[in-house]
Each structure stands twice: as C-alpha cells, then as structure tokens.
Structure 1
Amino acid sequence: MTTIAGIHIPDSIMAREATDLVRDTETELLYHHSRRVFLFGALAGERKQLKYDPELLYIGAMFHDMGLVAPYSSEHERFEVDGANAARDFLRRHGIGEDDIEQVWTSIALHTTPGIPQHMKPVVALVTAGVEMDVLGLAYDEFTEEERHAVTHAHPRGAHFKENIIDAFTQGIIHKPHTTFGNVKADVLELKDPHYHRENFCTMILGSSWKE
C-alpha cells in the first residue's frame, strides 16, 4: 500500500482497476492532477475530522475529469456529467450499492459548482475541496508545507500547470460550448475561444416565449 503525506492510497482490486483505467485514458497531466485531488481531499477530510469512505473518495477524484477525454466525452452533456456517468457505470460493474454510487456521481457532477458541495456528504465535499486546492489554491495555507511537498513530489504539477490545465479544460469542452452555461467553464472558453459567445441568463428570461 502506498502512503503519501500520511494518506493511504486505496489498494483494492477496484481501486487498482480505476487507477489503470485513468492512467490509460487520460493524459499524464490529468492523471497526476486526479491523484492530487484525492490526496488533498483526504488531507482536508482528516483535518476537518470528517468520516468518509476513502475508496469512494478515490473513485470520485480519479474519475472527476474523465468527461474531458474520449471515449467518455459526449456531444451534449456537461463534462462533469460525463465523468459522473463513467464512474457510475464503473462502480455498478463492481457491485457497489446505489447509495454509494449516488455519492460518487454527485461528487463529480458538482465539482465545478461552487458553494454547494461543502454542505453535502463528505465524499461530495472532499472531491471539490481537492479540486479547489489543486486548481485554485483555495485553503492553500491550511495544508502544511510538508503535506504540499509530499503530494507534489509524488505527483508533480509540472512546468506551466496553470496554463496547461486550462488548455486541458478547453480541449475537453470546446466542441460543446452550450454546456458551459451557468458554470465556471464559461470562463475557460471566454479566455481561450475567440468565437465563444457567453449565454446570458437575463437575456434568456427577457427573450422567452412568455408575453410578460
């Protein structure tokens, strides 16, 4: 069993299969990012003394960006939903109960929806906490320097991670810009796609079929 920053990486058959699947499917950038999301999420859980299932957290973290890559990226769904659906199907093949599957599905589906996951079950909250730490640096100072070093030594961010992760988001969603309405990925396309037109909630209301 591998231990990083005091966190044990789940080593069940299911967890190993998830690791192999993600490593074979995603880029190195996304693979290492996903492992860091698990580790930072687990560290946040330990610090907050939350009771959570490490294996479910691991699956949520490892699958959270699967919707950015083929063959899991659909034409019409948000990439978060694609990743959540991939995790759901994977967990069902392993005989996991529907309540646990729902936690993992929700953790992935909501990981780019600020302000909600932290009020939900620990697995849901901690996937988002891991993502927010690794991508946005939120709660950076709540992790010790030793923890940050151990995680990034095992799973390096690499040069230009900030630009590269934005590029990875862009490549995963640029073919379906309509799925960014109302979520943070609209900012990605606004930065990277000169042809992107951000939909406006108020414009939709004012232009609806209702007379008044």
Structure 2
Amino acid sequence: MTKTIAGVDIPDSAMARKATDQIRATESQLMFHHALRAFVFAALTGYREKLTFDAELLYVGAMFHNVGLNVKHQHSPWRFEVDGANAAREFLRQHGAPESAIEEVWEAIALHTTPGIPEHMSPLVALVSAGVQMDVRGARYDEFTAQQRDEIVQAYPRESSFKKKIIEAYARGLEHRPETTFGTVNADVLDRWNPNYRRLNFCGLVLGSDWPN
C-alpha cells in the first residue's frame, strides 16, 4: 500500500523498497529520516515548480546522498559525495536501470553540496540538492506550508538537537580525509568541529605554487 506524506506518494517499487531497506540497515535513524524528509521536500519542490522528474530515481538519490559518510568509507580518499554517488550507481546497475538514469543520479548526489550549480542542471539534480538543503539548513523554508512541514516531521521525526547532530555526522565522516573538503561547504564543518583543522586557501596555493611568476 502506497504511503502518502504531505501529498507526496513514497515510491513503493521493488527497487525503492530495496533502497529503503539498505539505507535503514546501514545508516543511523537520524540520517535515514533525514533522507526521507529530503525526498519529500524535493518532490514538493518539483510539484510547486511544475518540473518533470522520475520519483523513483529521485527517491534513490535522496536515500543514497549521505552514504559516503558511513564507516564503510572511512578510508576513502574521495569526497563523501563521490562515494555516495558511486554506491548509488552500483545499486542502480544491480537493478537494471538505464545508464542515462544512473549517471543523472550520480550527478545529483555528487553535486548536492555544491552551491550554485545543481539548480542549473536537470530537474533530478536540482531537486536532490533542494530537498537536502531544505532539511539541513532550511533553504526556501517559507515556500513550504506549516502543514506540509509538520506532516513531514511527524512522519519522519527530526531528533532533538538535529542541527548539532548532523554537523557531527558530517564531521565524523570527513575527519579522516580533510583534504577533500577544499573548496566545499564541508570545510565549514571541519573548521567548526576540529580546532586543529586548517583550511587550504586557493590564493595561497596559487601564490605558493612552483611557477616562477
């Protein structure tokens, strides 16, 4: 039976159920509920803006967007977004999704923390980012009704101190690979979390390069 939250039908295909089971089993409840809320906010944004998108692919993108923060990737040298995108790619290939769809989901996850780019790409890429940004930092908060927000949070609760806890979750998923935060919002996370962290500075890299002039 399809579950509807704030007017959004939660995908219930075999692939969607498998994604739900996999993320529920491998992520904390805090991150699992965050992914579900991100999907609903993303879908509502798509409806409001009259965008055409595949709800099942949007669901997979939302489910997998933070997988790269898992302990499984604690030795990865890549950005966590790339690890999550790669995991989604593998999952979708196992379920026979078309390569074009797989690459679109990959882009959506890989770019979901990159300001100023996703909104100029396909609806799927734009919406994964929009849903995540709404749930994490309240982007376009007032474009959702209080009833929509309340219904979503009632279905998929925000834990007490969610704001601090999600920053901690990001930090713990990044602390072993601080170099990957260069030029991203992830640098803000480690800057707040780790007093010994020092940001790479683009201007310093340019001026300190081996070029003679």
Question: Whole-Å Cα distance in 2 between the matches of residues 168 and 198 of structure 1?
Answer: 19
Are 1:162 and 2:152 an aligned pair? no
> Which residue number corresponds to residue 207 of structure 2?
206
Query: Contact conserved, 1:7 with 1:42, CA < 8 A, in 2?
Result: yes
Q: Please give the residue correspondences for 1:99-118 in structure 2 after superposition, counting only pairs within 5 Å.
A: 99-118=100-119
Aligned length: 212
Query: Contact conserved, 1:10 with 1:54, CA < 8 A, in 2?
Result: yes
Are 1:139 and 2:140 an aligned pair? yes
Deviations 1:63-91 (A, max 9, x none): 00000003245420000000000000000
Question: Whole-Å Cα distance in 2 between the matches of residues 186 and 169 of structure 1?
Answer: 10
Structure 1 residue matching 2:71: 3-state secondary structure = coil
> Which residue number corresponds to residue 14 of structure 1?
15
Alpha-carbon RMSD across the aligned residues, in angstroms, is 0.8
> Which residue number corresponds to residue 81 of structure 1?
82
TM, length-normalised to structure 2: 0.98
Q: Please give the residue correspondences for 1:179-194 in structure 2 after superposition, counting only pairs within 5 Å.
A: 179-194=180-195
Deviations 1:4-62 (A, max 9, x none): 00100110111000000000000000000000000000000000000000001000000
List gaps (5 residues or longer) in structure 1.
Answer: none
Question: Whole-Å Cα distance in 1 between the matches of residues 75 and 91 of structure 2?
Answer: 17
> Which residue number corresponds to residue 3 of structure 1?
4
Query: Contact conserved, 2:57 with 2:101, CA < 8 A, in 1?
Result: yes
Distance verdict in 2 for CA 1:94–1:148, change over 3 Å: same
Structure 2 residue matching 1:71: 3-state secondary structure = helix
Q: Please give the residue correspondences for 1:85-100 in structure 2 after superposition, counting only pairs within 5 Å.
A: 85-100=86-101
Distance verdict in 2 for CA 1:52–1:73, change over 3 Å: farther
Amino acid across the alignment from 2:59: Y
Query: Contact conserved, 2:112 with 2:118, CA < 8 A, in 1?
Result: yes
Question: Whole-Å Cα distance in 2 between the matches of residues 72 and 125 of structure 1?
Answer: 25
Query: Contact conserved, 2:6 with 2:152, CA < 8 A, in 1?
Result: yes
Question: Whole-Å Cα distance in 1 between the matches of residues 136 and 205 of structure 2?
Answer: 31
List gaps (5 residues or longer) in structure 2.
Answer: none
Amino acid across the alignment from 2:124: V
Question: Whole-Å Cα distance in 1 between the matches of residues 70 and 90 of structure 2?
Answer: 16
Question: Whole-Å Cα distance in 2 between the matches of residues 199 and 98 of structure 1?
Answer: 36
Question: Whole-Å Cα distance in 1 between the matches of residues 121 and 200 of structure 2?
Answer: 29
Question: Whole-Å Cα distance in 2 between the matches of residues 73 and 22 of structure 1?
Answer: 17
Distance verdict in 2 for CA 1:74–1:83, change over 3 Å: farther
Q: Please give the residue correspondences for 1:118-137 in structure 2 after superposition, counting only pairs within 5 Å.
A: 118-137=119-138
Identity of aligned residues (%): 57
Distance verdict in 2 for CA 1:126–1:74, change over 3 Å: farther
